[in-house]
């Protein structure tokens, strides 16, 4: 009786018991199981069956197994696209502008949004809403609707539009705090303002990024706590959803790095950052934000050194350079708590303020009437005070 062998994961030759009568079907079944185990486990071992004194391989089994893995992975993206695309809309903006010679012409722009209520509330970026005076929303089934701006968030690049419709498909909102670097994500949007419902895939490259975004009108806005992704995000994708492989919206695509000096660097606002604003619009029709009542400058090491500050982090209570501005708004919660100009707020409820976690980001986690503890430096002395947040006026 000829010896029957196979090679294990470590390359060792193992002999099956020659005295035991084993049917060829059983032998093949054993080898197929081993092949599947090696392919799925990624060990990469080649299993052999000796027949008529010659070793033969079964590459077709390994190949088909690998193909199955690829198909399963691809189907996840396909399933997400099918689930989310019906709730993604394209937005066309128009406004009248005047050129240097006094001629007035209509300027058009494009963006993306996603539906959050079946009666037509739509999330997009504030800079999309700022780019027009009239708006048209195109749903995935080809219908078009005039839209109005329902609310804009003063703390984030967020706007809510409203169309008059019923029975619309709604996007599922996820939990962005569960995102991990390296995790697959998908962006869906109106790429270049022309290619509706374009799907691109990538990974979460980093979290808690900060940047100053430049608008097409020359305006700028400081954005913090962003998700960085290598998912392709183009002009027109602004306001569209960034989703996980469960088909849940975990971010709002909002900016890309300058493509003349970078490749594959896009940014999204975490959905948790704007969840309270979305809930506020759903329940009250407007965005209600917590209010402390200070103007501030985020302290960095360079600022601390140039201004001879005693610490290199936190929020310097600072009136800025605008004529008539104040550091602390009279009658505000901060004023009532005794916080004054040139104080440095260092922590909110034990969360230390840094360049990437500013006072604005910290306060945005709370609601009006929430009580928080503020740790701050006053003339070199550390103090603590409890403050009840007000509502944005």
Q: Which residues are catalytic?
A: 127, 157, 238
Say if CB 147 and CB 137 are below 8 A apart. Answer: yes
User: What's 294's DSSP letter?
Assistant: B
Structure tokens that stand for 100 in this block:
């240097």
Task: Give bridge partners of residue 173 from the DSSP assignment.
Answer: 249
Say if CB 133 and CB 94 are below 8 A apart. Answer: yes
User: What's 101's DSSP letter?
Assistant: T
Distance CA 194, CA 379 (A): 56
Give 353's contacts (C-beta < 8 A, 6+ positions apart).
Answer: 298, 313, 314, 315, 345, 346, 347, 359, 362
Distance CA 354, CA 315 (A): 8
Question: Pick from 234, 153, 156, 243: which is nearest to 193 by CA?
Answer: 234
Task: Give bridge partners of residue 372 from the DSSP assignment.
Answer: 387
Question: Pick from 284, 253, 295: which is nearest to 367 by CA?
Answer: 284
Structure tokens that stand for 321 in this block:
């350079």
Give the burial class of 299: count Cβ atoms within 10 A of its Cβ; 0-12 exposed, 13-18 middle, 19 or more buried.
Answer: buried
The span from the first CA to the last CA of the chain, in angstroms, equals 91
Structure tokens that stand for 70 in this block:
């690829």
Residue 157 Cα distances to 122, 131, 368, angstroms: 14, 13, 20
Q: What are the CB-based long-range contacts (under 8 Å, 24+) for 25-34?
A: 31/6, 31/58, 32/58, 32/61, 34/6
Say if CB 31 and CB 48 are below 8 A apart. Answer: no
């Amino acid at each position: 009786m000829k010896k029957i062998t196979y090679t294990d994961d470590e390359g060792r030759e193992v002999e099956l018991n020659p005295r035991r009568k084993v049917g060829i079907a059983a032998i093949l079944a054993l080898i197929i199981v081993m092949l599947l185990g090696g392919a799925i486990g990624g060990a990469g071992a080649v299993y052999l069956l000796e027949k008529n004194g010659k070793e033969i391989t079964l590459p077709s089994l390994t190949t088909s197994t690998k193909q199955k893995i690829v198909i399963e992975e691809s189907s996840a993206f396909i399933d997400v696209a099918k689930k989310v695309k019906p709730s993604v809309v394209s937005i066309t903006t128009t406004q009248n502008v005047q050129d240097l010679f006094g001629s007035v012409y209509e300027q058009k722009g494009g963006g993306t949004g996603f539906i959050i209520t079946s009666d037509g509330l739509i999330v997009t970026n504030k800079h999309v809403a700022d780019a027009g005076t009239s708006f048209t929303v195109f749903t995935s089934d080809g219908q078009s609707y005039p839209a109005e701006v329902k609310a804009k968030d003063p703390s984030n690049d967020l706007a809510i539009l409203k169309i008059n419709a019923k029975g619309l498909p709604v996007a599922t909102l996820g939990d962005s705090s569960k995102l991990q670097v390296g995790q697959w994500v998908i962006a869906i949007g109106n790429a270049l303002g022309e290619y509706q419902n374009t799907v691109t895939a990538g990974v979460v490259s980093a979290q808690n990024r900060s940047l100053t975004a430049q608008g097409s009108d020359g305006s700028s806005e400081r954005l913090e706590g962003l998700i960085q992704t290598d998912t392709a995000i183009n002009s027109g994708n602004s306001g569209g959803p960034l989703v996980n492989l469960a088909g849940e919206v975990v971010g709002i695509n909002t900016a890309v790095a300058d493509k003349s000096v970078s490749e594959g660097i896009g940014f999204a606002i975490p959905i948790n950052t704007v969840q309270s604003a979305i809930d506020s619009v759903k329940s009250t029709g407007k965005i209600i934000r917590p209010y402390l009542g200070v103007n501030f400058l985020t302290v960095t090491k360079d600022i601390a050194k140039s201004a001879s500050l005693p610490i290199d982090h936190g929020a310097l209570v600072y009136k800025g350079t605008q004529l008539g501005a104040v550091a602390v708004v009279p009658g505000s919660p901060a004023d009532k708590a005794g916080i004054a100009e040139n104080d440095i707020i260092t922590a909110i409820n034990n969360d230390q303020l840094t360049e990437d976690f500013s006072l604005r980001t910290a306060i945005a986690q709370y609601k009006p009437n929430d009580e928080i503890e503020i740790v701050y430096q006053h003339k070199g002395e550390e103090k603590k005070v409890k403050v009840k947040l007000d509502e944005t006026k």
